[in-house]
A and B are shown apart, each in its own frame.
Chain A
Amino acid sequence: MPDKPRTISLSQLDEWLTLVKGEVKGYQAETGELRIELQDSNRPDLWCCEGIARQIRIKREGIFKPYPFLSQRPRRPKRLLVDPELQSIRPYVAACAARGYQVTEQGLAQLIQTQEKLADIFGRKRKMVSVGLYRLEPIQFPITYEAVNPDDVRFTPLGVETVMTLSEMLMVHPKGVEYGTLLAGQSRVPFLRDAVHQPLSFPPIINSREIGEVRIGDDQLLIEVTGTNIAMVVLALNILAANLADRGAAIEPVAVHYPYDTPLGRRVVTPCVLSRPRSISLETIEQALGQRFGVHTVKEALESYGYQVSVKRKSAMVQVQLPPYRHDLMHAMDVVEDVAMSLGYGTFAPEMPSQFTVGGLSRLEQVSDRVRDLMVGLGFQEIMSNILGSPDAYCNAMRLEGTPWGRMVEVANVMSANFSCLRQWMVPSLLRVEAASARSFYPHRLFEVGEVAIPDLTHELGSRTESILGALIAHASAHFSELHSCLDSLLYHVGITYVLEPISHPSFLEGRVGKIVASNTMLELGLIGELHPEVLERWQIAVPVTAFEINLSRLVDLEQL
């Protein structure tokens, strides 16, 4: 039976919650409701107050007392029989009875919340795991888990008043509508009934209203879990059994008889221990944590975190086993973290990594920084922009629809048209600021150095990420030669000799646009021009604008030639 409740402060609780990677996010004094944020998505046992309390209690008591229902097995347990057809539909089931805990209002709310979290989050919206709770008394054992024709079976489901067939439930019952796709394409569906053909439920959709509705005051329950992964199914049942046992119930296992092989055999008595003992060397733990503790500290730390631990003399190995409500041990490092959490992160003395390393920037970043310094010297204000934007800004408003310059990396799952493609060039980012800033005094000289994504099917990722310098001048008499002078000085100081070759580009005025070509290699580095009045109109910009772009990634490539 649980101990008498005791009062603790919120800050004390917050400290204890580090044991479960949790944090108090809110407390309502009137209702006593506590909101706790949990980080660990691999510990479904902690997604309920029973599990959090259990982890804290074990730490305070120093050891986890094994649940009797796992060691003291009844000689002739109640039976649950599985129909062979289920192997290809929803193959696994686990169940147990719980007696002697009288369900309170709060207890029922927690039970339902745990059931929903296990099915929705852990069970991925009931696909892998779904949970049913029943009143035990009316049920005649053995229970049968069978496949039926959905038109042949009828009962009154939870939440409605009328008898309907399973097909009708799929079509009209809210749960049928929500979860029906899990059974899409199945001509036969899962069905749970007792020995006298009383319907229990239609997993994973809905329980029967007669037997499958637990009420406040009930003190004999049946818990059943079905699913597609037997380890997950059993783990979910183990968690629910531990929770009810912690509330004072006696758990009675049920033997599940399969007509086919399962990873746990053909007869599985549930709940049952899932994880096998595992040997870990003390050295692994000490090396990873950077501290020598000795085997006894490790044993104590793990035992007060719920593990069963045995130490073999002289071998410097510890044998550890997870408690039944956990199945998240993939690697020795998982145990290492539990040792650290049990001891408390605060008990570890930080130590500086001592090995010498040389710091530095990539060549591209060095070139970018140098170019930014030069642009500032030329009187330009740096801006920064989102890279994710709209085709309207990057392409249409630039008169680039259907041209090679208008190709972009686009998003498949668009949330908002404003954020649906990556910029393929820099000029629109500069125009975005210009268009919004007519009231900031002129002249405007803007630049940005940043990344763009250029579609390229010869690249394994379908695009290249390149760094671009873009610059713009806007004022009442802005013209080509003013910006050309800036470009000329810039490239001189970057050490590039170049020529401008006239081109046609829809974003710029014909005859006032050219590509920037490195003289010695004839490699194209960028472009410069006066923006087309129609582009300015689309952006609602009322002064002439000239702009250039230089591909800095290509500049770096050029250095390496």
Chain B
Amino acid sequence: MKDDLAKVRNIGISAHIDSGKTTLTERVLYYTQRIHAIHEVRGKDGVGAKMDSMELERERGITIASAATYCDWKGHSINIIDTPGHVDFTIEVERALRVLDGAILILCSVGGVQSQSITVNRQMTRYRVPRIAFINKCDRTGANPDRVIGQLRDKLNLNAVPIQLPIGLEGDLEGVVDLVTMKAVYFDGDNGEKIREEEIPAALKAEAEKRREALLDAASMFSDELMEAVLEGTPTPEMIMNAIRTGTLKLELTPVMMGSAYKNKGIQLLLDGVANYLPAPTEVDNFALDLDKGETEIKVTNNPDDPMVALAFKLEDGRYGQLTYVRTYQGTLKKGDTIINARTGKKAKVGRLVRMHADEMEDIEEAGSGDIVALFGIDCASGDTFTDGKLNYSMSSMHVPTPVISLAIKPVDNKAQVNMSKALNRFTKEDPTFKTYIDSETNETIISGMGELHLDVYVERMKREYNAEVQVGAPQVAYREAITQRADFNYTHKKQTGGSGQFGRVGGYIEPLEEGEYEFVDSIVGGVIPREFIPSCDKGFRKAVVKGALIGAPITGVRCVINDGASHAVDSSDIAFQLAAIGAFKEGYAKAKPVILEPIMKVVVEGPTEFQGSVMGSLNQRRGMIVGTTEEDDYTAIEAEVPLSEMFGYSTDLRSLTQGKAEFTMEFASYKPVPKSVAEQLIAEAQKKNKEK
């Protein structure tokens, strides 16, 4: 429990893939004495970094699931979420940002601002997360922090202000000059753990003065006290730090720090930066929705004595059952408390409360407001809000991107089938962007997610963690059929071949239904169809709409109206009227000009304006209808409606078309008729399949 919320920092570490997030986190844990040895991501010792706890992560050298950890630094309690860098795992980044108060944006001093940095920065802006930029890998050949600072300003529109100056670069990197204290800082010892402060080297003195001047100019915009002190020539480090902090919290200034995590340089100063410049939970406005007052927004208090409100932002199946990561926004969460899930209304008892440290944990008795902890044995979904029952609040929902790619998977044997089910059950609970269902037409298990790598990782995890070997098939598009005009039917089902006969006549019409999938209207008067057989007709129509006559796809948007019919005192039965309705539907369907519908997706491509023309061309080639463009600064969002069948492989095409600088999101918009040529092709394929059967 934190007695002093002002000294709590909930931070995330986000960046482009391979910028060294996990390496940096490893140093943070080492310097805060959470671990006693440093292991590299792809280290020769084979141990792997602490935060990369998943076997696959260690092997591939990328972080897939974010791990939460906690450390102490100079009296501050810091909760860190290490977030993945690959674009396909964006949900992890978004979920982390939702519950964090501040973040470190890591940039490679060689690669600079890369596409994922832009995405991550946009996400941080969306959630109003104050950030520090850390230019990593200053020891690398080609390191150029100044260029990266320029890119932070130009490409990310940040008011990036360096508060450090590197002492040497590439192989000569020795340390940094702290422009706030005007000291040269070196990192001695085997792991850079001994900090040595010296006078600024003479060769760097003039440059350091110049840069400090720029820093004072930028920082004094946020503090009259500092401005006056600058004019009088008496600014103190505290004044400068306070001004930087104010600017950072307002999201109007981004302090830039630098170093090399791999060479153990600059990390302790970065931790100082987290404590000095990033906000405490009390300094961030978080809002909940009051469900009793029509979801009006209410600012949460952060007061540990108020009724408890906590948000479950990540689920994980651990060794001891489901682990739920929660952030408390107000009140105190105690072991033994009864909490209520605001979405389901279900009560649950807090049996075990732990503080997470990658895949290890420590038991705690209570968690104060603003804390990030994990609960055991609580059944919930990611994004659920918990309260102590005194309030009916829900934290605003997280932005969950819709899956964009689907694949059919097939277990190789029975054992794999069982294991696959277990794996899918766990993955879908853990990750809201990963979805699975069984295609009723093809009977295949379909998995859908945020990208090819996303699904690839889950397929591999199935194999490794659950021993479920699966074959990956080609993706399927869910076509539908629909009628375009009204058509009458009058069908008699008659069967008199031994035993009891069957008789039923159904008359009426089918017509297109503007909203909804299916509607049955009973307009029978005078009892020409006995009341007990009316539901039979409905049942028959429902069976008929399951499979259309064109390609065998389900029929959607149809109203079936019966207004005439006939029955037989002995031979009419439930089944007879069901079959009559099926026959009647087929008769009407053939006359109702049926068409094949395909799913149309709303696609939004965001990227630099320079690629606008080629992106629009690529969407056009895919039978896309460009709805419009929104141009802001040098970024353009292109909105289009494109058939799903044309979108497979688009992520790869888009990456190559835009040098990886554009990204796209896709969500279902509507079903629309396929063009004639495509319909003919689909019908021919369906007929061929039927013949093969």
Note whether A and B form a binding pair.
no
**Residues of B at under 8 Å CB distance from A?**
none
**Residues of A at under 8 Å CB distance from B?**
none
